[in-house]
Amino acid sequence: MFEFECWHEFSYGEPWCKQTYVAETPAKAKAQHYEYLQDGLFEADFFTVVEKMKCKKIGRASVNCLFGDYQKFRDIIKARGIEFAYQGMKIQVCGKMGTIVGGNNSMNLDVVFDGQWHSGNCHPWYETVYFDNAGNVLADYRVIKEQVVG
Protein backbone atom coordinates (compact mmCIF):
# COMPACT_ATOMS: atom_id res chain seq x y z
CA MET A 1 0.00 0.00 0.00
CA PHE A 2 1.09 3.51 -0.80
CA GLU A 3 0.07 7.03 0.11
CA PHE A 4 -1.04 9.23 -2.81
CA GLU A 5 -1.99 12.89 -3.10
CA CYS A 6 -4.72 13.72 -5.65
CA TRP A 7 -5.94 17.13 -6.84
CA HIS A 8 -7.17 19.14 -9.81
CA GLU A 9 -5.06 21.83 -11.43
CA PHE A 10 -6.85 24.54 -13.34
CA SER A 11 -5.50 27.21 -15.69
CA TYR A 12 -4.44 29.49 -12.82
CA GLY A 13 -2.03 26.77 -11.64
CA GLU A 14 -3.22 26.31 -8.06
CA PRO A 15 -4.14 22.82 -6.85
CA TRP A 16 -7.82 22.48 -6.05
CA CYS A 17 -9.35 20.03 -3.59
CA LYS A 18 -6.07 18.33 -2.63
CA GLN A 19 -6.61 15.14 -0.62
CA THR A 20 -4.43 12.24 0.54
CA TYR A 21 -5.39 8.58 0.04
CA VAL A 22 -4.01 5.15 0.84
CA ALA A 23 -4.23 2.82 -2.14
CA GLU A 24 -2.37 0.11 -4.04
CA THR A 25 -2.14 2.04 -7.33
CA PRO A 26 -2.57 5.61 -8.61
CA ALA A 27 -5.74 4.51 -10.42
CA LYS A 28 -7.29 3.30 -7.16
CA ALA A 29 -6.32 6.58 -5.45
CA LYS A 30 -7.97 8.51 -8.30
CA ALA A 31 -11.11 6.40 -7.91
CA GLN A 32 -11.19 7.28 -4.19
CA HIS A 33 -10.78 10.97 -5.03
CA TYR A 34 -13.62 10.75 -7.55
CA GLU A 35 -15.84 9.24 -4.83
CA TYR A 36 -14.82 12.04 -2.47
CA LEU A 37 -15.89 14.62 -5.05
CA GLN A 38 -19.38 13.16 -5.41
CA ASP A 39 -21.06 15.82 -3.32
CA GLY A 40 -22.73 17.71 -6.13
CA LEU A 41 -19.71 19.72 -7.25
CA PHE A 42 -19.08 17.62 -10.32
CA GLU A 43 -21.76 16.59 -12.73
CA ALA A 44 -19.25 15.12 -15.18
CA ASP A 45 -18.75 11.40 -15.63
CA PHE A 46 -15.83 9.50 -14.09
CA PHE A 47 -13.52 9.61 -17.12
CA THR A 48 -13.96 13.36 -17.66
CA VAL A 49 -13.12 14.08 -14.01
CA VAL A 50 -10.19 11.66 -13.84
CA GLU A 51 -8.75 13.00 -17.09
CA LYS A 52 -8.12 16.40 -15.40
CA MET A 53 -6.97 14.88 -12.10
CA LYS A 54 -3.34 14.88 -10.92
CA CYS A 55 -1.99 12.14 -8.67
CA LYS A 56 1.40 11.95 -6.95
CA LYS A 57 2.83 9.02 -5.01
CA ILE A 58 4.05 10.25 -1.62
CA GLY A 59 5.55 6.98 -0.39
CA ARG A 60 4.81 3.75 1.42
CA ALA A 61 1.73 3.94 3.59
CA SER A 62 1.94 3.53 7.33
CA VAL A 63 -0.72 3.73 9.98
CA ASN A 64 0.68 7.19 10.85
CA CYS A 65 -0.73 8.64 7.61
CA LEU A 66 -4.20 7.77 8.92
CA PHE A 67 -3.82 9.68 12.22
CA GLY A 68 -6.52 12.27 12.76
CA ASP A 69 -6.61 15.64 14.52
CA TYR A 70 -4.67 15.35 17.79
CA GLN A 71 -6.64 17.99 19.74
CA LYS A 72 -9.99 16.42 18.81
CA PHE A 73 -8.64 13.06 19.96
CA ARG A 74 -7.47 14.55 23.29
CA ASP A 75 -10.91 16.12 23.87
CA ILE A 76 -12.65 12.79 23.19
CA ILE A 77 -10.49 10.67 25.49
CA LYS A 78 -10.91 13.21 28.28
CA ALA A 79 -14.70 13.34 27.84
CA ARG A 80 -14.92 9.53 27.70
CA GLY A 81 -12.65 9.00 30.72
CA ILE A 82 -9.92 7.08 28.91
CA GLU A 83 -7.03 9.52 29.33
CA PHE A 84 -4.56 6.59 29.22
CA ALA A 85 -5.33 6.05 25.51
CA TYR A 86 -3.08 7.48 22.79
CA GLN A 87 -2.90 7.55 19.02
CA GLY A 88 -1.00 4.47 17.91
CA MET A 89 -2.19 2.37 20.86
CA LYS A 90 -3.11 -1.26 20.16
CA ILE A 91 -6.63 -2.26 21.15
CA GLN A 92 -8.99 -5.14 20.61
CA VAL A 93 -12.62 -4.47 19.68
CA CYS A 94 -15.05 -7.39 19.54
CA GLY A 95 -12.09 -9.75 19.23
CA LYS A 96 -10.38 -7.87 16.37
CA MET A 97 -6.98 -6.23 16.89
CA GLY A 98 -6.46 -2.68 15.71
CA THR A 99 -4.65 0.63 16.25
CA ILE A 100 -6.21 3.86 17.50
CA VAL A 101 -5.66 6.60 14.91
CA GLY A 102 -7.94 9.34 16.24
CA GLY A 103 -11.40 10.37 17.28
CA ASN A 104 -14.51 11.47 15.42
CA ASN A 105 -17.57 13.69 15.76
CA SER A 106 -19.51 10.82 17.35
CA MET A 107 -17.14 11.07 20.34
CA ASN A 108 -15.87 7.61 19.40
CA LEU A 109 -12.46 6.28 18.43
CA ASP A 110 -11.23 5.87 14.88
CA VAL A 111 -9.52 2.47 14.74
CA VAL A 112 -7.62 0.85 11.87
CA PHE A 113 -8.00 -2.89 12.21
CA ASP A 114 -5.08 -5.15 11.34
CA GLY A 115 -4.98 -5.86 7.61
CA GLN A 116 -7.10 -2.84 6.67
CA TRP A 117 -6.25 0.68 5.46
CA HIS A 118 -9.32 2.58 6.57
CA SER A 119 -10.57 3.47 10.01
CA GLY A 120 -13.68 2.21 11.72
CA ASN A 121 -15.89 4.09 14.18
CA CYS A 122 -15.61 2.29 17.56
CA HIS A 123 -17.21 3.12 20.89
CA PRO A 124 -14.39 3.30 23.47
CA TRP A 125 -16.18 1.07 25.97
CA TYR A 126 -17.98 -1.49 23.79
CA GLU A 127 -16.21 -4.87 24.00
CA THR A 128 -12.84 -3.07 24.00
CA VAL A 129 -9.50 -4.07 25.52
CA TYR A 130 -6.59 -1.58 25.70
CA PHE A 131 -2.97 -2.81 25.67
CA ASP A 132 0.31 -1.15 26.64
CA ASN A 133 3.48 -1.40 24.51
CA ALA A 134 4.44 -4.69 26.17
CA GLY A 135 1.06 -6.27 25.39
CA ASN A 136 -0.28 -6.08 28.94
CA VAL A 137 -3.95 -5.24 29.44
CA LEU A 138 -4.44 -1.67 30.69
CA ALA A 139 -8.24 -1.62 30.61
CA ASP A 140 -10.83 -4.24 29.72
CA TYR A 141 -14.38 -3.18 28.84
CA ARG A 142 -15.60 -6.59 27.67
CA VAL A 143 -18.80 -7.90 29.15
CA ILE A 144 -18.06 -11.26 30.75
CA LYS A 145 -21.03 -13.54 30.23
CA GLU A 146 -21.66 -15.79 33.20
CA GLN A 147 -22.15 -19.45 32.53
CA VAL A 148 -25.57 -20.67 33.48
CA VAL A 149 -25.51 -24.06 35.15
CA GLY A 150 -28.76 -25.76 34.87
- Domain shared by 38 and 82, yes or no: no
Q: Could you give the number of structural domains in the chain?
A: 2
pLDDT at 17 over 60: yes
- Domain shared by 123 and 97, yes or no: yes
State how far the alpha carbon of 43 is from the alpha carbons of 11, 39, 48, 106, 133, in Å: 20, 9, 10, 31, 48
- Domain shared by 51 and 115, yes or no: no
pLDDT given at position 148 = 55
Which of 61, 77, 105 finishes a domain? 61
**Comparing 65 with 101, which gets the higher pLDDT?**
101
- Domain shared by 49 and 88, yes or no: no
pLDDT given at position 131 = 96
Residue range of the domain that includes 7: 2-61
- Domain shared by 53 and 79, yes or no: no
pLDDT at 150 over 80: no
Neighbours of 132 (CB within 10 A): 11
Contact between 91 and 98 under an 8 Å Cβ cutoff? The reply is yes
pLDDT given at position 78 = 95
- Domain shared by 86 and 121, yes or no: yes
pLDDT given at position 39 = 63
- Domain shared by 47 and 89, yes or no: no
Average pLDDT over residues 83-104: 93
- Domain shared by 70 and 129, yes or no: yes
- Domain shared by 70 and 136, yes or no: yes
Contact between 117 and 65 under an 8 Å Cβ cutoff? The reply is no
On whether residue 148 sits in a domain, the answer given is no
Q: Helices H, strands E: what count in the chain?
A: 3, 9
- Domain shared by 87 and 56, yes or no: no
- Domain shared by 29 and 50, yes or no: yes
Question: pTM of this prediction?
Answer: 0.60
Average pLDDT over residues 49-72: 80
pLDDT at 136 over 80: yes
Identify each DSSP E strand in the chain by its residue range: 2-9, 15-23, 53-60, 90-93, 96-103, 109-113, 119-122, 128-131, 137-140
